[in-house]
Structure formats: structure tokens, C-alpha cells
Amino acid sequence: MSQKVVVFSQIDREILMKLEQRYQVVQINPKNGDVNQQILEASRDADGMIGAGRVLNERNLKHAEKLKVISSVSVGYDNYDVGYLNQKNIWLAHTPHVLTETTADLAFALLMSAARKVPSLDAWTKHGQWSRTAGPDQFGVDIYGKTLGIIGLGHIGAAIARRGFHGFNMNVLYHSRREKIETAEQFKAEFCTLNELLSRSDFVVVAVDLNAESRALIGAKELQLMQPHAVLVNIARGSVVDEQALIQALKNRSIFAAGLDVYEKEPLQQSELFQLDNAVTLPHVGSATAQTRKRMVELAYKNLVDALEGRQPQYCVKSA
């Protein structure tokens, strides 16, 4: 009897076919009703699970007595109850590294778009409003040679620092739980407190994992420390930033703009952010290129197969 695998989100067709050739596959489909109920039932006799973007915890895995591995097609793992999975000896595998450069590219796309008002000026031009030379209302802020403050100098944060330092001659500051001397020296990056980074940076990029320490890390008080010409970029997790406080800061123009790829609740279909000309809003596409998503799901497939064949997956998450 072949092992059973639950696919809990949409994955690449080729990989799905490979799974179906190897395992008994059950796909979770929102069209078939409550997803959590489907996961609760399907995981009952499952050996493995693969997918992304779903909360998996004791509530919907409590019957998963045979489950050996959850292979996440993501680098972030804040939507999994890692402590519970470790306690049940269920491997949680993820896909770091393969998406680092793609996500760092998107961070800079947001930084530049927000700094130079690209989306709103594109709309302005296309609506025939360009009747004379662009003036102060169309002015953006400079990037080259400015100060880039990165919250979280992990792989993605370091890739963003590399772009700023080498590509835009930027002065790099960073804040993280501990100093990252070897990484920082590549970009002459200066370790500083969060408040110092917020008050000194022209561009603040949130690149930190979501965890108990980073949840709501950036609130009204922190936003008030930023300069009126400063730009906030978030490519990490929405819940690191107090979204209502950010909306107020943008409305009050106490910061120049924000470039956002993530939100407290996703998918985001209605928000005051959508009415703000100084908010650039993307739909969580940090890793969303065909090439990178293919690499992610191929790695997640390998992690799954390794685990189902009794080998510890290459990239396993351990509870802190």
C-alpha cells in the first residue's frame, strides 16, 4: 500500500504528477468546503503533507497519527505550530536559499517604486494628466548614496544590503537579535538599535522572520521615529508592522511612502491602503517568479521524499 500525501495548496503540475506516480495523493480544494475540516479528515491517515499558505496546528492535525513530515513550499514557517510538530515528531521542512535573490529583487522593486512614485505617476500619465513638465507633486526622493536600514540581516536581508551597498552606493545600517559581524562587514553595515535605525534611515526594509519577538515590532511609536522623507518597505510578514498605525503615518505623511508585499491578513481585498497614493501594494509576490517557484517546489518535493524514505530532510525547522 503506497504512502498517502496531502497536497494542501496549489503546486506545480509536473511535481503533482510526480507525487501521484509515487503516492496516494489527496488534494485540499477550497471549492469543496471548509479547508480546515478537509485537512482534519485528509491528514487522519496521511504520511506526508506538502504546500504553503495554510495554518497547520494541533486543531487541524489532531488526528494525524501517521504524519511524518510537512514539507512547506516557503522559507517562512510562522503559519505552522512548530512546537506541536516537534512534540509529535513530525518533521517540518521548508525551502530557504532558492528564493533569496528573487525576494531581494522584489524588495528593491518596492523601494524604488515607492521612492519615485512609480505606480501613481504611471496612472497619472495614462489618465492624460501630463499637461506640463512634472513639478513638486510628482517629485520623488533620491535613493543613490542614501541610508538603507535593514531589520533582519538573514539571507534575504543580506541580499538586500548587497544591492544597496554595491548597486546604489548606500550607507547600510541593520538591526537584528545579535550582531552579524561577518555578513555586515561585506557591506560596511553598522549594527544599531531599532530606534536608531528608524531615526537615521532614509529607507527602512523589514526582512525579519515573524516570531514572538518581531510581531508588531513596528508600531505607531516606531513609525514616529522615521523621517518625513523616509520610506518603509515590508517583504517579510504583515504582522511585523501595525497596519493601522502605518495607514495613519501615511495619511499624516509623517513618512514619505510605503512599499508593501505582505499584510496582517492575506489575501487583502479591501483596505484603506488602496486609497493612498503613497502606498505601493503588491500581493505577496516576493518569491513569485516561475523559475523560483519551480525551484521551491522541487526542493519541497525532495524534502518530502527524503522524509517519507526515512531520511531527515535537508532543510528542517526546529522549534526555538
Per CB under 6 A, residues contacting ligand 8YV are 52-53, 73-76, 99, 284, 286-287
Residue closer to ligand 8YV (CB basis): 19 or 198: 19
Cβ(205)–Cβ(175) under 8 Å? no
Catalytic residue among 20, 179, 213, 266: 266
Catalytic residue among 175, 237, 243, 293: 237
Peptide bond into 96 cis (omega under 30): no
Q: What are phi and psi of 151, to 5 degrees?
A: -95, 105
Q: Is 284 a catalytic residue?
A: yes
As a whole number of angstroms, the distance between CA 40 and CA 57 comes to 10
Single-letter code of the amino acid located at 68 = K
Cβ(300)–Cβ(99) under 8 Å? no
Single-letter code of the amino acid located at 63 = H
Residue closer to ligand 8YV (CB basis): 75 or 148: 75
The CB-of-78 to ligand 8YV minimum distance in angstroms stands at 8
> 70 is written with which cell numbers?
510537512
The CB-of-133 to ligand 8YV minimum distance in angstroms stands at 41
Q: Is 8 helix (H, G, I), strand (E, B) or coil?
A: coil
Q: Is 195 helix (H, G, I), strand (E, B) or coil?
A: helix
The CB-of-96 to ligand 8YV minimum distance in angstroms stands at 8
Catalytic residue among 284, 298, 309, 311: 284
Q: What are phi and psi of 77, to 5 degrees?
A: -140, 30
The CB-of-19 to ligand 8YV minimum distance in angstroms stands at 17
Instruction: Note the Cα 12 to chain centre separation in Å.
Output: 20
Q: What are phi and psi of 122, to 5 degrees?
A: -65, -45
> 258 is written with which cell numbers?
510605503
Residue closer to ligand 8YV (CB basis): 76 or 164: 76
Residue nearest to ligand 8YV (CB): 76
Name the DSSP letter for residue 35: H
Q: Is 177 a catalytic residue?
A: no
Residue closer to ligand 8YV (CB basis): 52 or 232: 52
Residue closer to ligand 8YV (CB basis): 121 or 260: 260
Q: Is 237 a catalytic residue?
A: yes
The CB-of-295 to ligand 8YV minimum distance in angstroms stands at 11
Catalytic residue list? 237, 266, 284
